[in-house]
Amino acid sequence: PRVLVDVSQIDMSISILGHHISAPILIAPTSLHKLAHPEGEIATAKAAAASKTIMVLSTSSTSSLEEVASSCDAVRFFQLYVLKNRDVSAWLVKRAEISGYKALVVTVDRPRL
């Protein structure tokens, strides 16, 4: 351990897929944000932008991909549940791409929906 080290000027910033963020903390994909705040995931995206971090938008969000994308300049990734109907999955990925999401986070630990 290092003791008596000056920690008044710590830089925890990192780069993830070429995007510089303030600390190694991302906002995980969770759903139903409108139960907690009237703006739902839009408020979360604004908080991510203010905190200089990345928001991962859930497939099950209460705000659309497009609404979140147009709300602020936060770096956004999109989390995808692979659906039985692959056309719907492809449609979601295309919408994310068009809306400027920078990465796709695929959830693989649950059965196809």
| Domain range for 57 | 25-107
Q: Does a structural domain hold residue 50? A: yes
pLDDT higher than threshold 70 for residue 112: no
Asked whether residue 18 is assigned to any structural domain, the reply reads no
Task: Read off the pLDDT band of 97 (50, 70, 90).
Answer: very high
Establish if 6 belongs to a structural domain.
no
46-85: per-residue pLDDT in tens? 999 999 999 999 999 999 999 999 999 999 999 999 888 9
Reported pTM: 0.87
pLDDT given at position 110: 74
CA distances from 89 to 29, 73, 80, 82 (A): 17, 25, 8, 6
Residue 113 pLDDT grade (very low, low, confident, very high; cuts 50, 70, 90): low
Total tally of structural domains belonging to the chain: 1
Is 10 within a domain?
A: no
